[in-house]
Amino acid sequence: MKNLGTLILIMMLIGISISCDDDFLDKQPLGVVSDRVLANKSGLDQLLIAAYAQLDGLGHDQAIPWPAGSSNYVWGSVSSDNSYKGSDLGDQPQMLEIEKYLVEPPFVYLDSEWRGLYDGVSRCNDVIRVAAVAVAAGTITLEQEEQYKAEARFLRGHYHFDAKQEFGNIPYIDEKVDDFFKVGNVTKDGAYVDTWPEIEADFQYAIEHLPPIRDRSQPGRADQWAAKAYLAKCYMWQMDLAEAKPLLEDILNQGPYQLVDNYHNNFKIATNNNMESIWEYQASVNDGAGGFNGNFGDVLNFPFGGPGGCCGFHQPSINGVNAHQTDGNGLPLLDTFNDTDVANDQGLESTDPFIEHTGPLDPRLDWSIGRRGIPYLDWGDHPGKDWVRNHDSGGPYAPKKNLFYAEEEGTGSFGSWTGGFTANNVRIIRLAHIILWRAEVAAGENDLATATEMVNLLRTRADNYHVQEGGVEDDGTHPNDAANYDVGLYPNFPNQQYAWKAIKFEHRLEFYMEGFRFFNLVRWEDADEVLNKYLEKEKTHRTYLEGMSFTSGKNEYFPIPQVQIDVVGPEVLRQNPGYQ
């Protein structure tokens, strides 16, 4: 599903355009061949490949790729307390405004993300529409149509879900739409449309019609388990715990998944599509596509001057690093983690003396980020400022989870204008999500024993492998820890309030720098309190945050791109509250 280079060649040869040519709601596709030409198994396979290929977020007419990165780092991480934009303040200034909660409807970042998602929707609808034509023409069977439709509806659910969590009040577009100018996000009565039922219906259809489990020789293709997990994610986003519970229990009790021993195996090219992965975007390089299949939207997020070649974006925040401190029992400092900073080399040259942090830390920190004196996978110790573009604007840390190993350079990576095109997949849903969602359900039911058990599963795994001196992966015996790692297990949560606090904190640690944080804060209705508290202290580290604040009732969602509203009219596509 990842060979976009081949697909582009096919598209050029037959002269088709899978998605709309200009603005998504602007025009009907130009140069589209008759559905009858594609209404056969070969044509449908090509259309389905195109629908999967759009998971990288790169529509053919987007102005810039960075906001559409498959990791969602702009919308889910930079906009949260987990990371800064990084780099220099003047580089990609719209991303800086997103970080400061000053985003405005005309921003091209918004339009690029919107186009990428709805390009994906359009490609899915092409599959469904053409499959129906193929059945009528007798070129595929009803059973085959069902399979194409189920896979396309799963992907359509994904693209709409991403749009929903980012933009809130979105239009739902299915294969029956023939006039984009009439599709908006408001009802005849002027209320915003609730698109959750349609998104859920797509995943429910996929559950009922996809194969029970996908052949591992075809990684990345959706199956029933992926559809169940995604439907559960929809319910968890709405905090509908009762609806999510049976799906989560089914996956945990009957699904073919297990936690991998080493936490970092969820972020390695060599362990793509492992037994913890439920569904992931398939990245590839050296496939004839010039790197465009290799996480193009994330190529800025490597140490400046270090591995990857570019460009010092998506730098971990002081607050996020501090969250990995533990107490004498190896447990998180749920309320006081940010009172004292983890020792860092802010403002120091790489040649200046530096005293490393000696307090206890969760080892997931050093699998997630690069910090001075700690092995950066097999690239040697992170040298500090020599690999940081600007301490003042981005702080002293670097991202790590998207990195490739030195031994994979040239095979798992691709060099063009930068070397950061990688074959490192993006894990969209893995078993750890299911475990923590099940913990949330248990906390909601005041089932403290189950909630504790679920969280401790991940904490036990976190303690299995530590970052080692010299960059050698630990086998679980921890003989040469690179730092003072200490991960303890919770005794039974004492009450429901404590359980919720611990579960939310575990989400942050387990998925640090993976693009989920902001959306979790919104669904928990914690964004206002948490992010304003974050800004209050973080402005002492990053002066550009002085005077910034998160506005409740507005900043939970990003504004709908103004250009899209201008195309169809504000009476059809209405702006989100607070941005009018």
The answer on 503 and 558 residing in a single domain is no
SS3 118: helix
Q: Which of 509, 524, 555 is the last residue of a domain?
A: 509
443 pLDDT tier (thresholds 50, 70, 90): very high
Scan for tokens 């984009």, then name that residue: 180
Q: Does residue 498 belong to any structural domain of this protein?
A: yes
Helices (H) and strands (E) in the chain, counts: 19, 8
- Residue 281, H or E segment: strand 277-281
Q: Of 61, 65, 116, give the one whose Cα is nearest residue 95.
A: 65
Total domains present in the chain: 2
Residue 421 belongs to domain spanning: 296-509
The answer on 427 and 544 residing in a single domain is no
**Alpha helices, DSSP H only, in 168-191?**
none
What is the Cα–Cα distance from 60 to 207, expressed in whole angstroms? Answer: 30
Q: Which two tokens mark 129?
A: 């529409």
The answer on 436 and 342 residing in a single domain is yes
What is the Cα–Cα distance from 517 to 18, expressed in whole angstroms? Answer: 33
What pLDDT is attached to residue 7?
A: 38
The answer on 447 and 356 residing in a single domain is yes
What is the Cα–Cα distance from 41 to 25, expressed in whole angstroms? Answer: 29
Q: Does residue 246 belong to any structural domain of this protein?
A: no
* Residue range 82-136, pLDDT digits in tens: 999 999 999 999 999 999 999 999 999 999 999 999 999 999 999 999 999 999 9
- Secondary structure (DSSP) of 303-349: -TTSTT--B-EEEEPHHHHHTTBB-TTS-B-TTTTTSSPPP--TT--
pTM passes above 0.75: yes
Q: Does residue 250 belong to any structural domain of this protein?
A: no
Q: Does residue 555 belong to any structural domain of this protein?
A: yes
Q: Which of 509, 533, 567 is the last residue of a domain?
A: 509
Domain of residue 103, CATH code: 1.25.40.390
Q: Does residue 536 belong to any structural domain of this protein?
A: yes
The answer on 460 and 563 residing in a single domain is no
* Residue range 508-567, pLDDT digits in tens: 999 999 999 999 999 999 999 999 999 999 999 999 999 999 999 999 999 999 999 999
The answer on 116 and 201 residing in a single domain is yes
Distances in Å between the Cα of 520 and the Cα atoms of 82, 119, 173, 226, 505 are 12, 25, 25, 20, 11
Whether the CB-CB separation of 300 and 314 falls below 8 Å is answered with: yes
* Residue range 502-515, pLDDT digits in tens: 999 999 999 999 99
Q: Which of 489, 509, 529 is the last residue of a domain?
A: 509
Residues forming a β-bridge with 280: 427
What is the Cα–Cα distance from 361 to 372, expressed in whole angstroms? Answer: 15
Whether the CB-CB separation of 164 and 558 falls below 8 Å is answered with: no
pLDDT at 21 over 70: no
Tell me the percentage of the chain whose pLDDT exceeds 70: 93
The one-letter amino acid code at 375 reads P
The answer on 437 and 367 residing in a single domain is yes
Q: Does residue 234 belong to any structural domain of this protein?
A: no
The answer on 522 and 472 residing in a single domain is no
The answer on 475 and 346 residing in a single domain is yes
Lowest mean pLDDT among 9-13, 370-374, 402-406, 506-510: 9-13
Q: Which two tokens mark 45?
A: 């396979």
The answer on 402 and 354 residing in a single domain is yes
The answer on 37 and 104 residing in a single domain is yes
Q: Does residue 38 belong to any structural domain of this protein?
A: yes
What is the Cα–Cα distance from 418 to 405, expressed in whole angstroms? Answer: 16
The answer on 501 and 520 residing in a single domain is no
* Residue range 409-437, pLDDT digits in tens: 999 999 888 999 999 999 999 999 999 99
The one-letter amino acid code at 140 reads I
Q: Does residue 51 belong to any structural domain of this protein?
A: yes
